[in-house]
Amino acid sequence: MRLPDITIGAGAMSASFRPDAGGRMSRLVHRDFGEILVPMADGSFDPYDWPKAGAYPLFPFHNRIRGGLVHHEGRVLQLAPHPALSPDVMHGPAHRRPWQVIDHARDRLSMRLDYSADADWPFDFRAEQEFHVREGSLTIGLRLVNIGALPMPGGLGWHPYFASGLRQTATTDAALSYPLDPLNLPTGEPAERRQPGPLPDHAGYTIHLRDWSSASLTLDGGAVVTIGACPTLPHLAVHRMPTYLCLEPVSHRAGVLGSPGEALAEDVIASVAPGEYLDALIQVELAEA
């Protein structure tokens, strides 16, 4: 039997969480505009067939690693494949593990995951999430700490499923777009200039952008969401389907962990020394259309 959701809120805005389901935000709701995220359904949680709903943390990498092969300091490390994507892996293991609540107040929640090296990721780390709801806004703090004895590659990000169908507009000021291969991974070629403005309005695509400061979308409930992030998260992954739009602030280029040395200098994933950390801040603002 699953644990009940934990809810925080301020004014007309509330957020609910399922720490046991990979540290997920299960709902984000505004009294006047309705669901901001696609709400998670009740029921059990399958860590390998996760719901396309709510929002989840991305530690210590995001997106796909081809063949599950991580190139780090001259070594090649083999990760356990995702059962449905073998031999590839996807989105890191943190959102498939239960998290621990560290602090819970009326308008705030903090969660932590202490991760021990295993076949899914061969380094020890601590992941932290902190959420603060205000009237019409949500602040998300993320931190990745190396609690092991060796340097580790690492990144972080956040993966929301916004309740925004294909009739709704979306835009970003991202200045660069990566050429993609058939698996929707950047090819390793330099990013190309793009004109800031609308995102495609069709279903089934993934694009990887860089050098952005703001993205916005209209919700099915009529409100406008604007999302921004700190310089630690210069990349934006975008994925669109008929009933949702994912705008994912992330720290590094998708697939860079699987690049054996040909990665561009500006796209290299962080190397986190023992005891050091990488942190980031994301801001979500809600306004009437």
Inter-residue contact 234 to 210 (CB < 8 Å)? yes
Cβ-proximal residues to 94 (8 Å cutoff; 6+ apart), any chain:
22, 23, 57, 58, 59, 60, 113, 115, 127
pLDDT at 282: 98
DSSP 62-91: -SEEGGGEEEETTEEEEPPPPTTTTT-EES
Q: Mean per-residue pLDDT for 274-289? A: 95
Report residue 63 CA to chain centroid gap.
Answer: 9
What pLDDT score does 61 carry? Answer: 97
> Rounded mean pLDDT of 6-14?
97
Per-residue buried b or exposed e for 99-117, using 16+ beta carbons within 10 Å of the residue's own CB: beeeeeeebebbbbbebee
Query: Using CA atoms, how far apart are residues 140 and 248, in angstroms rounded to an integer?
Result: 13
- Domain spans in the chain, listed from the N-terminal domain onward: 6-168+251-273
pLDDT digits (tens, 9 = 90+) for 210-255: 999 999 999 999 999 999 999 999 999 999 999 999 999 999 999 9
Q: Which two tokens stand for residue 252?
A: 């590094």
Which runs of consecutive H residues, i.e. helices, occur in 86-237?
Answer: none
pLDDT of residue 188: 84
The CATH code belonging to domain 6-168+251-273 is 2.70.98.10
With beta carbons less than 8 A apart as the criterion, state whether 71 and 260 touch: yes
Please report, for residues 74, 223, 247, 248, the alpha-carbon distance to residue 214 in angstroms, rounded to integers and kept in the order given.
36, 16, 10, 12
Q: How many CB atoms lie within 10 A of CB 61?
A: 30
For the stretch 82-140, pLDDT in tens is 999 999 999 999 999 999 999 999 999 999 999 999 999 999 999 999 999 999 999 99
| pLDDT for 1 beyond 80 | no
pLDDT above 60: residue 16? yes
For the stretch 28-42, pLDDT in tens is 999 999 999 999 998
Helices then strands, counting H and E runs in the chain, come out as 0, 26
